[in-house]
Every structure is written in structure tokens, then in C-alpha cells.
Amino acid sequence: MILLEIKALSVTFPTATGAVQAVRSVDLQIEKGAIHGLIGESGCGKTMTGMALLGLLPKGAQVAAEVFRFDGMDLATQAAYLRGKRIALISQDPAAALNPVLTIGRQMDDVLRTHRTQPKAARQAVAVELLAATGLADPVELLNRYPHQLSGGMQQRVVIAQALATGADFLIADEPTTALDVTVGAQVLALLRKLVSERGLTVLMITHDMDVVAAVCDRATVLYAGLSVEEGPARAIMGRPHHPFSAALLAALPDAVPRGHKLAAIEGRIPSPTQAITGCAFAPRCPSCLPVCPDTPPPVRGNSDHRWACHLDKGAR
């Protein structure tokens, strides 16, 4: 069952000097129970896409989409209603997500009180159960602790427990491991994977890190300059990317070539969000650019399982 379906989502900010297109055209299709990666570099619109799903865009943002549906409901009008009931956010920096002057127990209860009608004792039992489900040892004792007394990994587990406390079944995880150490990040990813299979959750994993995608994602979408350029099974995108940008992103990783060899950096810069794009957005930086690329929008190739937008008929390489 397709839980989330987005077609041609755009987010625009009108300014005095012209419209800033944070998201130009993003397509997403996420099956229930999947972890779907949203990959891209700074400024590609991945966080703005997540915020649009949550109805948390900054003032003045203009959202448009051909299809913008979550479980049969129209996100354009229902995003604020769904937030906290069905959709919850796990943000990058757990220390900033938690209130430093309130105990963990109070912060868990704030969420539970808002979303459930239960007496206090029952709520506390739920809080303890959820904290335990995120792998935190001694959850009863934890209720009286403050965020600064916990490590970064423990704080992120508390944030995940809060997201579960809302009762949401769709989690937007925005770079959930970026602020954590590598070994701790690996544990948090394993936890998310476990929660998805045990509780039937669905996760949109926003990340710039290909290793995160390879470790936990079932499918993934690659964004460039606010556009979806490739969508497919995570393993296929990692193993044989078809869009030249996806290929270039993987080739730029430091372990893509033997030690000390020159890395395949992507020259140039992403187009400015105020710039209009007529043809393929990646054309000016693309190593296999054809004469047609800069002026004609690329056709979508592939099949419903794995598709990409490119003029090359065989894809990258």
C-alpha cells in the first residue's frame, strides 16, 4: 500500500528580487513499512520537502503539487492536522530538540498528554514502555533525569521515543545520525530498522550520507537543485546509479578510488535557487552532457521500480 504519494511538489518563496525556488519538482512514492532515503547535498531541498510534509514551512512559502497525498488525505490542507497524529519528526540535533530545563519524564508526558486521554499513572507506564522500546536501560530512573545528563545517543533515543509517543506511524528523520559519533549513529540506525519492523512504521530518511542510505534504506530518491533526478531501490542506486549526478556523488566518496589517487570531484556549483532552469539542471556540471541537455528538460527513463530523468538513453557511464 502506498502511504505517501507526492508528484511535482514545489516550494517557492516570493522575494523582492524574484522567486526563490527551494523545491522545484519533487516526486515521492513511499510504501507502508519502508524506509525511504531522500538523498542530496546542501541546498537541494531535502529538508524543505520534509517541512512541507509536516506543514512547518516558514511564513510566505508557496506550496504547489499535482499530487500531495498521505493515506488518502490531502496534505495541502491536512498537514497541520496529521502532524503529531500520523506524522512526526526526528531532527538532527537531539540536544536542541529537547528542553534543557525539564526532566525527560515531564517532556515525555507533555507529548502523551497532548495526544492521548489517559490518567497520569497510565501515561507514565506508557512513557516507560516507549523509553525501554528505544533501548534505553533503566527507563524508570531516566524519567527524573535532565537532557544534559544523557549522552548524544541516549538523547536521540529519547527523541525517537517522543516521536512514538505521539502515536505517529510515519516518521521523518532529518539527518538523525549526523550529530552523533559513528558507532553511536550505527546503533540509532539499527534501532530505527528494528522499530520499523516491530511497529509497522514508515520512515522518510533525509540524509546526505550514502552510507546511511546503504545501511538502512529500502528505496531512495536522489535530489538535485530541488528536483528528483533518480528514484529506485537503495541497493540499485548504490550499486549502479543511472543518473550522472547520482553516479558523480558516489564517485566523489573518499573510498571510491585507491588511497592517494585523485578523487572525482564534481566541478562547479549547484544552480542558484532564483535561477530558472530550462533544460537539465545538472547539465553544466555533467561529464556526459549532450548538446540537447542544457535547453530541453530530460525525459524520465526506466520503469516504475527504478526511474531517472536523463537524456542519455543508457544512463550514466
Site string for another protein, 111-150 (x = CB under 8 A): ----------------------------------------
* Nearest residue (CB) to another protein, 7 versus 193: 193
Backbone angles phi, psi at 253, to 5 degrees: -70, 145
Q: How far is the CB of 247 from another protein (least distance, A)?
A: 12
Q: For residues 152 and 167, which CB has a smaller minimum distance to another protein in the complex?
A: 152
Question: Quick check: 185 binds another protein (CB under 8 A)?
Answer: yes
Select from 26-34, 45-53, 168-176, 252-260 the region that touches another protein (CB under 8 A): 252-260
Q: Is 263 a binder of another protein (CB under 8 A)?
A: yes
Residue in this structure with the C-alpha cell 502515536, named with its chain if needed: 167
Q: How many CA atoms lie within 13 A of 133 on its CB side?
A: 21
CB of 3 to another protein, least distance (A): 24
17 belongs to the binding site for another protein (CB under 8 A): no
Interface mask toward another protein for 211-230; x: CB under 8 A: xx-xx---------------
> Which CB sits closer to another protein, 11 or 217?
217
Q: Is 189 in the site for another protein (CB under 8 A)?
A: yes
Binding of another protein at residue 238 (CB under 8 A)?
yes
| Residues in CB range of 105: below 8 A, 6 or more apart | 124, 127, 142, 143, 144
The answer to the question of residue 236 lying near another protein (CB under 8 A) is: no
The verdict on 314 binding another protein (CB under 8 A) reads no
**Could you say which of 182, 276, 291, 304 contacts another protein (CB under 8 A)?**
182
Taking CB under 8 A as the binding criterion, the range among 9-17, 66-74, 110-118, 261-269 that sits at the site for another protein is: 261-269
Q: How many residues bind another protein (CB under 8 A)?
A: 36
Chain residues 190-209 in contact with another protein, contact rule CB under 8 A = 208-209
Q: Which residues bind another protein (CB under 8 A)?
A: 41-42, 152, 181-186, 189, 208-212, 214-215, 234-235, 238, 248-249, 252-255, 257, 259-260, 262-267, 269
